[in-house]
Structure 1
Amino acid sequence: MLSGRHRAASTAALLSTTALISTALSTGWLTATASAAPSANGAAHVKHLCSHPTTPGQMACLAEARTDIVRHLTVSPNTTPNGYGPSDLQSAYNLPSATAGAGKTVFIVDAYDDPNAESDLAAYRSQYNLPACTTANGCFHKVNQTGGTSYPTADAGWAGEISLDLDMVSAVCPQCHITLVEASSPSMTDIGTAENEAVALGAKYVSNSFGGTEDPSETTADVQYFNHPGVAVTVSAGDGGYGAEYPASSPYVTAVGGTSLSRTSNTRGWTESVWSTSSTEGTGSGCSADEAKPTWQTDSGCSHRTVADVSAVADPATGVAVYDTYGGSGGWNVYGGTSASAPIIAGTYALAGTPSANSYPSTYAYGHKSALNDVTTGSNGSCSPSYLCTAGTGYDGPTGLGTPNGTAAFAAGANSVNSLQPGQKLTSGQKLSSANITLTMGSDGNLVAYLKTNGASGSGPAIWASNTSGHSGAYAYMQTDGNLVVYSSSGTALWSTHTYGNSGASFLVQDDGNLVVYSSSGSALWSDGTYMRSATIGSGQKLKGGSWVQGKYTRLVMQPDGNFVMYRKRDGKAIWTSNTYGHAGAYAYMQTDGNLVVYSSGGTALWSTHTYGNSGAYALMQNDGNFVVYKSTGGPGKGGALWASGTQSYVP
Structure 2
Amino acid sequence: MRKNLLRRATAALLGAAAIALMAPAGTASASGYAVLGSGSTLLPGERLVAYRSALTMQEDGNLVLHLCADAGGACGPVIWNSGTWGHPGAYAYMQEDGNLVVYRKGGSRPSDALWSSRTWGHPGAYLFLHADATMLIEAPSGTPPTGWTSDTGKADAGADVPQGERGAVITSARSLDPGHWLDSGTTWLVNQPDGNLVLYRKRDGAAIWSSGTWGRPRSSLSLSQSPLWPALGLHRIDNGSRTWSTPLKGRAGIHGVAQSDGNFVIYTDDGTALWNTGTWGRT
TM-score, with normalisation over the residues of structure 2?
Answer: 0.74
Q: 1:579 aligns with which of 209, 212, 216?
A: 212
Give the secondary-structure state (helix, strand or coil) at the position aligned to 1:583.
coil
Structure with the greater alpha carbon radius of gyration? 1
Which one-letter code corresponds to 1:598 in the other structure? L
Which one-letter code corresponds to 1:527 in the other structure? T
Change over 3 Å in CA distance of 1:454–1:571 after alignment to 2: farther
Q: Which has the higher helix share?
A: 1
Q: Does 1:458 align with 2:74?
A: yes
What's 1:493 paired with? Answer: 113
* CA distances 1:158-190 after superposition (whole Å, capped 9, x unpaired): xxxxxxxxxxxxxxxxxxxxxxxxxxxxxxxxx
Give the secondary-structure state (helix, strand or coil) at the position aligned to 1:439.
strand
Q: Does 1:544 align with 2:177?
A: yes
Give the secondary-structure state (helix, strand or coil) at the position aligned to 1:607.
strand
Q: For 1:556-567, what aligned pairs fall within 5 Å after superposition? A: 556-567=189-200
Please give the alpha-carbon distance, in whole angstroms, between the structure 2 residues aligned to 1:627 and 1:605: 20
Shift of 1:503: 2.1
Q: Which has the higher strand share?
A: 2
* CA distances 1:178-220 after superposition (whole Å, capped 9, x unpaired): xxxxxxxxxxxxxxxxxxxxxxxxxxxxxxxxxxxxxxxxxxx
Please give the alpha-carbon distance, in whole angstroms, between the structure 2 residues aligned to 1:535 and 1:620: 6
What's 2:58 paired with? Answer: 442
Change over 3 Å in CA distance of 1:470–1:425 after alignment to 2: same
Relative contact order (C-alpha < 8 Å, sep 6+): which is higher? 2
What's 1:645 paired with? Answer: 277
Identical aligned residues as a percent: 41
What's 1:528 paired with? Answer: 150
Which one-letter code corresponds to 2:246 in the other structure? T
What's 1:480 paired with? Answer: 96
Whether contact under 8 Å (1:438, 1:457) holds in the other structure is: no
Shift of 1:487: 1.8
Give the secondary-structure state (helix, strand or coil) at the position aligned to 2:153.
coil
Q: Does 1:599 align with 2:238?
A: no
Please give the alpha-carbon distance, in whole angstroms, between the structure 2 residues aligned to 1:552 and 1:474: 35
* CA distances 1:287-306 after superposition (whole Å, capped 9, x unpaired): xxxxxxxxxxxxxxxxxxxx
Which one-letter code corresponds to 1:495 in the other structure? W
Whether contact under 8 Å (2:30, 2:71) holds in the other structure is: no
Whether contact under 8 Å (1:417, 1:432) holds in the other structure is: no
Q: For 1:172-191, what aligned pairs fall within 5 Å after superposition? A: none
Please give the alpha-carbon distance, in whole angstroms, between the structure 2 residues aligned to 1:646 and 1:503: 51
What's 2:128 paired with? Answer: 508
Please give the alpha-carbon distance, in whole angstroms, between the structure 2 residues aligned to 1:422 and 1:455: 25
In the alignment of these two chains, the number of paired residues is: 236
Whether contact under 8 Å (1:514, 1:531) holds in the other structure is: yes
* CA distances 1:219-265 after superposition (whole Å, capped 9, x unpaired): xxxxxxxxxxxxxxxxxxxxxxxxxxxxxxxxxxxxxxxxxxxxxxx
Please give the alpha-carbon distance, in whole angstroms, between the structure 1 residues aligned to 2:117 and 2:253: 37
Give the secondary-structure state (helix, strand or coil) at the position aligned to 1:539.
coil
Please give the alpha-carbon distance, in whole angstroms, between the structure 1 residues aligned to 2:209 and 2:30: 34
Q: Where has structure 1 moved over 4 Å in runs of 4 or more?
A: 413-417
What's 1:628 paired with? Answer: 265
Change over 3 Å in CA distance of 1:626–1:481 after alignment to 2: same
Which one-letter code corresponds to 1:530 in the other structure? T
Give the secondary-structure state (helix, strand or coil) at the position aligned to 2:233.
strand
Give the secondary-structure state (helix, strand or coil) at the position aligned to 2:278.
coil
Please give the alpha-carbon distance, in whole angstroms, between the structure 1 residues aligned to 2:207 and 2:152: 19
Shift of 1:568: 1.2
Shift of 1:571: 1.6
Give the secondary-structure state (helix, strand or coil) at the position aligned to 1:581.
coil
| RMSD, matched Cα | 2.5
- Give the unaligned 5+ runs of structure 1: 1-366, 369-412
Whether contact under 8 Å (2:122, 2:146) holds in the other structure is: no
Shift of 1:604: 3.5
Shift of 1:418: 2.3
What's 1:61 paired with? Answer: none
Change over 3 Å in CA distance of 1:624–1:543 after alignment to 2: same
